[in-house]
């Protein structure tokens, strides 16, 4: 690729501006977050919208950062797992619930699950277990299995009520 294919832009991530310089126009947001900005909490999974490990919030919607052109997210509010933690670094209610239920083993899928679940609970505050199962259809876990994750999300949703 020639040099004139590169562009500069500023992304607003977790409330702060991040300058991205000399980036290929075709780079996806996941790549920019991890390898240009060092925000490695967002995980690299399947890169085609199957696993949900790369889930972030853009303008209040949970989306896969792997299928988002980073430059097209200019002007949007982006929240990653780093920005979803409490400001003082402690765990929030949903994260505590994951710990309590041992809803993780290797932990690779967890940031994606947390980001998806956070939006799901927000949009469906009185959810049933079936709704949680359907609502979390965009995230895959290959070690723990899903029951503990569903239980953790269900409990976090109940506490919210």
Partner 1 sequence: MIIQSPFLAVVESINEALDTKQKRPSSRFISGGTEVIADQNLGLLEPEGYISLRRIKELHTIEPKSDGLYIGAGVVVAQLLDDKAMAQVILLKKAARAFGTRQVRNRATVGGNIASGLPDRTLLPCLLALEATVHLQSAKGKRSLPIKDFLIEPGKTAISKDEILTGTTVPYVKGFQEYYMVGPRNAQFFVTACLALVVDEANKNVRLGLGNAGPTAMRAKEAEEYANNAIDWKKQTVDETIAIKFGEIAAENCSPVSDAAASAAYRRHAIKVMSKRILLRAFERKQ
Figure out which of the listed residues 11, 39, 66, 103 binds partner 1, where binding follows CB under 8 A. Answer: 66
Binding-site string for partner 1 from residue 82 to residue 111, where x marks contact by CB under 8 A and - marks none: ------------------------------
- In angstroms, the CA 117 to CA 153 distance is 7
C-alpha gyration radius of the chain: 16
The pair of three-digit structure tokens given for residue 146, joined into one six-digit string: 């899903």
Identity of the residue, 9 or 96, whose beta carbon is nearer to partner 1 in the bound complex:
9
Identity of the residue, 57 or 101, whose beta carbon is nearer to partner 1 in the bound complex:
57
Q: What are phi and psi of 61, to 5 degrees?
A: -120, 140
Identity of the residue, 83 or 112, whose beta carbon is nearer to partner 1 in the bound complex:
112
Figure out which of the listed residues 13, 32, 64, 149 binds partner 1, where binding follows CB under 8 A. Answer: 64
In the complex, least distance from residue 92 CB atom to partner 1, rounded to whole angstroms: 21
Question: For the packed helices 147-160 and 110-123, what is the interaxial angle rounded to 10 degrees?
Answer: 40
Figure out which of the listed residues 12, 36, 47, 77 binds partner 1, where binding follows CB under 8 A. Answer: 47
Whether residue 59 contacts residue 77, with contact meaning beta carbons closer than 8 Å, is answered with: yes
| Local structure of 143: helix, strand or coil | coil
Residue 52's CB is within 10 A of a number of other CB atoms, namely: 25
**Interface residues toward partner 1, by CB under 8 A:** 4-5, 7, 9, 25-26, 28, 47-50, 52, 55, 61-64, 66-69, 71-72, 74-75, 116, 119-120, 134-139
């Amino acid at each position: 690729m020639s040099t004139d294919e590169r562009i500069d832009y500023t992304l607003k991530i977790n409330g702060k501006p991040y300058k991205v310089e000399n980036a290929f126009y075709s780079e996806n947001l996941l790549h920019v977050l991890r390898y240009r900005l060092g925000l490695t909490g967002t995980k690299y999974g399947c890169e085609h919208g199957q696993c949900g490990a790369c889930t972030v919030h853009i303008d209040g919607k949970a989306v896969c950062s792997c299928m988002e052109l980073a430059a097209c997210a200019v002007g949007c509010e982006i929240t990653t797992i780093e920005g979803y933690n409490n400001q003082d670094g402690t765990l929030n209610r949903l994260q505590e619930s994951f710990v309590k239920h041992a809803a993780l083993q290797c932990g690779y899928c967890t940031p994606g699950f947390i980001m998806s679940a956070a939006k799901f609970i927000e949009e469906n505050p009185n959810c049933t277990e079936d709704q949680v199962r359907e609502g979390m259809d965009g995230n895959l876990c290959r070690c723990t299995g899903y029951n503990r994750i569903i239980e953790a999300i269900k409990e976090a949703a109940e506490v919210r009520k």
